[in-house]
Structure 1
Amino acid sequence: MTTRVSIGDFAVMTGLSRQALRHYHDIGILEPAHVDPYTGYRWYATAQVDHAHLIRRFRSLDMSIRDIEALLSTDDPATRTEIITGHLTRMEEQLEQTRAAVTALRELLSPVTPAASVSVRHDPALTVWAVTDTIDLADIDTWFAAALTTLLAAVGPGPSAIVPGGLYDRDLFLESRGAATLFVPAPEQVDPPADVRAAVLPAADHAVLTHVGGHDRIDRSYAALGVHVNEHLVSHAGPIREHYLGGTPAEPTAFTATEICWPIVLT
């Protein structure tokens, strides 16, 4: 048996406010059992309580309205499982991001530690194949993946892993927009394809620090290296150089470490 109840009683029974009920009515996922044609007053049925509870519970778990609508409109168990599993996966990814953010915040409670091992190195001129663009700092991950794919396709398969490198102008850090170059050592006696340019990186002196692991905490390594350079050496305003270590032919982007090369002036 189902009974018609007022919107006030339905709000108490379901934990959904008048504003929420009006919104769910407007978008069609929880329509009243009856709307008075003269007053516009909404009446609900007791049989709708479970439906309303599902909506409230899923919304509390940040499920999208589209997914809730799809979930409630199907009786197919496989479809329901797919929708819920997809949402669980997204929640787990968000949880990992939150954990990473918490770890990063805890690290910020302590000052930058001195760089464990900084070496000074002279890098001779190097002939490379390169992809260069002016990019926004926010787009660097997308650009990096595309540029690396282009370079590896141009070089083709080789007997050993290729160590790519990057050059990043100071404007990219200072203005959040600037020139970025990704490069690989140039193959001998071969011309590059049209979407890749041949170039020679000039010789330069660098202070070098190897950051182990992914790039999620590389900012702390940059800070430690920058402190060391400015306290013990003479910083040069040239581009920052990186080398990406640990990639393999099977997994070229599976880097295990990044060599950060800070330009310096040797006196």
Structure 2
Amino acid sequence: MTTAVQIGEFSRLCHLSAKTLRYYHDIGLLVPADVDPDTGHRRYEPSQVGDAHLIRRLRGLDMPLAEIRTVLAAPGSRADALTRHLDRMEAELARTRDVVASLRRLLDATPPITVLYRSHAPVPALHIAGRVAREGVAAWCGSSFGELFGTLAALGADPAGPAGCTYSTEFFEQDEGEVVAFVPVLPGALDGELDGDARAMVLPGRRYAVAVHAGPFSDCDLTYGALGAHVAEHDKALPEPIVEQYLVGPQHTDDPDRYRTEVCWPVA
């Protein structure tokens, strides 16, 4: 006694339409157990219901058909493939939540920023410089600051001020350019410790228009826009790197809403 069922009955078992099942057969994703050579009628084994259910759910998660085919072809690796896809989905959901929250903040009435003027004297610092793409800057900064703070700890030295980064004009114009991560140190604190070390530098003295950005880095463009507009109206901007100083950042809190970032715009 055969247990194979026709396509209409199978569609009821797995909640996939006959049209979808025929398409999955055509592309080799879910092949019927038997196809009548005269009528072309497809018949499926009940044991195929599990694969059909899996395909239906994976398509509901927007997994590409090629990747689903790989999952079905290697049952032993299904868990790994599904885990990778779910990780990607969670990352995308997190990104979507961040964008939605940013749009809501954009819709809110934004209070005018307070712009202060400050002259920075030359400051000794540890630094790491690199050519960084915009989409990779967060990961690069996290790695760089971890290395810098680790070096200071190994030397028994403390930061002399908030850590920061400088961003070249090219970084904004080309979505890629030089970024310098730095941690200030006290004058003479590392004398003899880093002689000839490329990580030692002196941040040049500059005059800046300064505004504090409150909240996640993803919204920092709002403060950049307001501060840059103020500078364009009242000052002469210099084609020098913009400096961000992280008064409260990931090293202080896990809550991005509590971040406080000084944006320092170089002016004549």
Please indicate the TM-score interval, normalised by the length of the shorter structure: 0.7 to 0.9
Structure 1, 216-225 or 32-41: larger mean CA deviation: 32-41
Note closer, same or farther for the CA distance 1:196–1:49 as it changes in structure 2 (3 Å cut): same
Please report the RMSD computed on the Cα atoms of aligned residues, expressed in angstroms.
3.8
Where structure 2 has 5 or more consecutive residues not aligned to the other structure, the ranges are none
Aligned residues: 252
Q: Are residues 193 and 94 of structure 1, via their aligned partners in 2, closer, same or farther at CA, if it must alter by over 3 Å? A: farther
- Percentage identity across paired residues of the two chains: 37
Which runs of structure 2 are paired with 1:194-233 in the superposition (5 Å)? 196-233=198-235
CA positional deviation for 1:227: 1.3
Q: Structure 2 vs 1, CA of residues 240 and 87 (structure 1 numbering), >3 Å: closer, same or farther?
A: same
The aligned amino acid for 2:125 is V
Q: Residues 123 and 203 of structure 2 are in contact (CA less than 8 Å); yes or no, is this contact kept in structure 1?
A: yes
Q: Distance in 1 between matches of 2:32 and 2:201?
A: 69
Amino acid at match of 2:48: Q
Q: Which residue of 2 aligns with 1:15?
A: 16
Structure 1 unaligned runs (5+)? none
For residues 146-200 of structure 1, the C-alpha deviation after alignment (integer angstroms, 9 at most, x for no partner) is 2212211221166866621111110110122221111111334243387742221
One-letter amino acid matched to 1:223? G
Stretch deviating more after TM superposition (14-23 or 178-187): 14-23
Q: Contact 2:24–2:31 (CA<8 Å) still a contact in 1?
A: no
Distance (Å, rounded) in 1 between the aligned partners of 2:196 and 2:8:
69
Aligned mates of 1:253, 1:166 — CA distance in 2: 18
**Mapped contact 1:10–1:44 kept (Cα < 8 A):** yes
Aligned residue for 1:102, secondary structure, equals helix
CA displacement, residues 188-217 of structure 1 (integer Å, 9 cap, x when unaligned): 424338774222122111111111222121
Rounded Cα–Cα distance in structure 2 between residues aligned with 1:66 and 1:119: 59
TM-score (norm 2): 0.74
Partner of residue 45, structure 2? 45
What letter corresponds to residue 94 of structure 2 in structure 1? E
Between the aligned partners of 2:33 and 2:197, the Cα distance in structure 1 is 63
Q: 1:40 to 1:150 in 2, by over 3 A?
A: farther
Give 2:137's aligned residue.
140
Residues 93 and 178 of structure 1: CA distance in aligned 2, closer, same or farther (over 3 Å): closer
